[in-house]
Amino acid sequence: MTDKTIPLFKVFMADSVIGPLKEVLFSGFITQGPKVDEFEKKLSEFIGNTHVVTVNSGTSALHLALDLAEVGPGDEVVTTPMTCTATNWPILAHGARIVWADVDPDTGNIDPLSIKKRLTKKTKAIMAVDWGGYPCDIDRIRFYAGKIPIIEDAAHAFGAMYKGNKVGNTADFTCFSFQAIKHLTTADGGALVVRNSTHQKKAVLLRYFGIDRKKRSKDYRIEKDICDWGYKFHMNDVNATIGIENLKHTSEILQKHRNNAKYYIRQFKNLGNVTLMREDEGYLSSYWLFTMKVKNVTKFMDYMKSNSVMASQVHRRNDTHPVTRAFRRNDIPGVEEFSRHMVCIPVGWWVSKTDREYIAKLVKNYQ
Ligand SMILES: Cc1ncc(COP(=O)(O)O)c(C=O)c1O
């Protein structure tokens, strides 16, 4: 690859971050405070849900969600292998058993019918990942899950829409990541979005040693009457300041991802050498990734690389790692197909019109 390689990911940082960040850095108060409150308020407005709890990573949000779903040793969590390890390792950390469901090979998302087949009396939660930003069919998952809590890992899907609502309004627990290369970055950070104030209050305690930092005693170091333990997962004012400034640009960033994706879809519609993902009515992806399927992924990636475009599978299926050996199964043909043929090409805000025309031409000429 040359210096001019078109990257698959890029960090977005608003110029306006510098001023407020400098102010916070030298204010003498850099941990969780007013900036976190302000960021949570702005996130609530963006998502359309007041029950937002920020944390220090998307992974931390997933840990909190599993705790709120009361997942513990011996319980089963039905989940997808087609994701980042961050989705599934917290299940193991809770001492629970992973039960792999199949994915729809045309979207990469967990297949609701496969979830139905995996449910047992021990199922304590369902984990649904919005692959590349395309929302899972939470309504259909709910139909089969009944009262079993649904955790939506929306690390890729900030700003995505499901049936007229932003993702973050349908599942019991939605987890977002604001890690470096996401649509919205705080450098590192995340948010858990819940559906009621009971869960919100619990999450606030659980993210910081069982203490609500807004209601702390006068002596900051001597806390009284802590009823339950908690992690140290809270967001700080430094990260929140970056988030506040970057959030001002998120709608525009999403639009650029969507425009590029729409362009590719138009260009690749009738190609024989690549297959597009299915998109149903009522779903609007955030297109953190532009995923498509090709026959030979290695050959395609090498071809793109030799033409200065980065292409990647981004995540390796989680069920083939030695750490998950105990949960392996052979009846997930959707995962087999998707993991063998999917590949992602640059689609984000940094991909100019000239870049996307160049990429589309390359894809069309690929044999
Ligand atoms: C699907 C998915 N879930 C969870 C995470 C974890 O997020 P974080 O890196 O903020 O902990 C990621 C990270 O990229 C991810 O891709």
Q: Map out the domains of the chain with their CATH numbers.
A: 15-247 (3.40.640.10), 251-365 (3.90.1150.10)
For ligand 1, say whether the CB of 318 is within 6 Å of any of its atoms. no
Amino acid 152: pLDDT: 99
For ligand 1, say whether the CB of 79 is within 6 Å of any of its atoms. no
Helix 353-365 crosses helix 250-268 at what angle (to 10 degrees)?
30
For ligand 1, say whether the CB of 108 is within 6 Å of any of its atoms. no
Q: Across the chain, how many H-helices and E-strands are there?
A: 12, 13
Distance 84 CA to ligand 1 centre (A): 6
pLDDT in tens, 14-28: 999 999 999 999 999
Ligand 1, atom nearest to 60 Cα: 11
| Rounded CA separation 199/204 (Å) | 9
Amino acid 3: pLDDT: 67
For ligand 1, say whether the CB of 243 is within 6 Å of any of its atoms. no
Contact at 8 Å (CB) between 167 and 134? no
Contact at 8 Å (CB) between 360 and 264? yes
For residue 218, the surrounding DSSP H or E stretch is none
Longest dimension (CA), the chain: 69
Pocket test for ligand 1, best of 130, 175, 179 (most atoms within 8 A of CB): 179
Ligand 1, atom nearest to 181 Cα: 14
Across the beta sheet with 76-79, what order do the strands follow? Answer: 52-55, 190-193, 173-177, 150-153, 123-129, 76-79, 97-100
Cα dist. 244→21, 26, 124, 187, 231 in Å? Answer: 10, 18, 35, 12, 24
The position carrying tokens 């025309």 is 357
For ligand 1, say whether the CB of 179 is within 6 Å of any of its atoms. yes
Q: Which residue has its alpha carbon closest to ligand 1 atom 10? A: 58
pLDDT in tens, 324-338: 999 999 999 999 999
For residue 148, the surrounding DSSP H or E stretch is none
DSSP 6-72: BPS------GGGHHHHHHHHTTT--SSSHHHHHHHHHHHHHHT-S-EEEES-HHHHHHHHHHHTT--
CA 288 to chain centre: 9
Amino acid 1: pLDDT: 46
Size (the chain), residues: 367
Phi-psi region of 189 (alpha: psi -120 to 50; beta: other; left: phi over 0): left
pTM equals 0.97
Structure tokens given for 266: 């138009």
Beta strands in 209-339 (DSSP E): 274-276, 283-284, 290-294
Q: Above pLDDT 70, what percent of the chain?
A: 98
For ligand 1, say whether the CB of 132 is within 6 Å of any of its atoms. no
Amino acid 220: pLDDT: 65
Q: pLDDT below 50 — which residues of the chain?
A: 1
Distance 176 CA to ligand 1 centre (A): 8
Distance 102 CA to ligand 1 centre (A): 20
Distance 177 CA to ligand 1 centre (A): 6
Quote the DSSP letter at residue 346: -
Structure tokens given for 31: 């941990």
Distance 188 CA to ligand 1 centre (A): 10
Pocket test for ligand 1, best of 59, 63, 64, 231 (most atoms within 8 A of CB): 59
Nearest to 67 by CA among 83, 82, 55: 55
Contact at 8 Å (CB) between 237 and 36? yes
Distance 58 CA to ligand 1 centre (A): 5
For ligand 1, say whether the CB of 129 is within 6 Å of any of its atoms. yes
Neighbours of 105 (CB within 10 A): 22
